[in-house]
Amino acid sequence: EDQVTQSPEALRLQEGESSSLNCSYTVSGLRGLFWYRQDPGKGPEFLFTLYSAGEEKEKERLKATLTKKESFLHITAPKPEDSATYLCAVQVSGGYNKLIFGAGTRLAVHP
Amino acid sequence: EPEVTQTPSHQVTQMGQEVILRCVPISNHLYFYWYRQILGQKVEFLVSFYNNEISEKSEIFDDQFSVERPDGSNFTLKIRSTKLEDSAMYFCASQQGNYGYTFGSGTRLTVV
């Protein structure tokens, strides 16, 4: 069965304290791995898509990387406005375009 | 920036009643989806829709659920006889090609 596991469940950082979120996946065949940000009571907001091992993408303070078994979302010098839940999702081969989500990591950045 | 619009933002309904959740996807997108998120749980896939028909559906999407694209802009999810366990946030999403989905802000459905 295709599975996505995110860790940690929750992370508290001081402003400026860099860290990484992990997304490990077990799938029959990966078509793409997606990172989303979700604010309370809102829909997921698209951040990145990664397609192959070794690929990296960056946006402001965020950088996503992908290996054959996991992806990392690195947050460099976070600010309080980066506080949100970060969701990882995969699209699998033969699964049309549906996304399989992990449970997310709740990030709180304190000044 | 183009948005996916969902209405209403909050719907309260009595158990056994029918509800229709509405979505306006991004105009040039081709793939449409419904997902739900029960409070404190993962976002779960319900159904995907392409070329005016369902392309995939999950086990959750049983006979009480249906989707429709009645015109060129709207995409609806109907729940025929709501149950308490249908209470959740329902998200509509649309996609063009292989890019990331764009999700709407959701409809919070409360069944009482």
* A97 against B34, higher pLDDT: B34
Tell which residue, B41, B20, B44, has the closest CA to residue B93: B44
Tell which residue, B31, B107, B22, B34, has the closest CA to residue B70: B22
**CA closest to A47 among chain B residues:** B100
d(CA A10, CA B45): 23
Structure token digits, residue B55? 């392309």
d(CA A81, CA A78): 8
> Tens of pLDDT along B59-109?
999 999 999 998 878 999 999 999 999 999 999 999 987 667 899 999 999
Rounded to an integer, the average pLDDT of A20-47 is 94
Q: Which residues of B touch A (CB under 8 A)?
A: 4, 6, 31, 33, 35, 41-45, 48, 55-56, 58, 89, 91, 93, 95, 98-106, 108
Q: Is A69 on the interface with B (CB under 8 A)?
A: no
Q: Verify whether the Cβ–Cβ distance B95 to A45 is below 8 Å.
A: no
Q: Verify whether the Cβ–Cβ distance A43 to B106 is below 8 Å.
A: yes
The pLDDT mean for chain B works out to 93
Banded pLDDT at B39 (limits 50, 70, 90)? very high
Distances, alpha carbon B50 to alpha carbons A10, B32, B79, in Å: 36, 7, 20
Name which of A46, A49, A103 is nearest B42 (Cβ-Cβ). Answer: A103
Q: Which helix (H) or strand (E) holds B57?
A: strand B53-57
Top mean-pLDDT range of A27-41, A74-88, B38-52, B91-105? A74-88
pLDDT at B97: 74
Report the gap between the CA of B32 and the closest CA in chain A (Å). 10
pLDDT at B71: 85
Name which of B44, B55, B93 is nearest A96 (Cβ-Cβ). Answer: B55
Cis, bond preceding A8 (omega within 30 deg of 0): yes
Residues on chain A touching B33 (C-beta within 8 angstroms): 97-98
> Tens of pLDDT along A50-105?
999 999 999 999 999 999 999 999 999 999 999 999 999 999 887 678 899 999 99
Structure token digits, residue B20? 């229709």
pLDDT at A95: 64
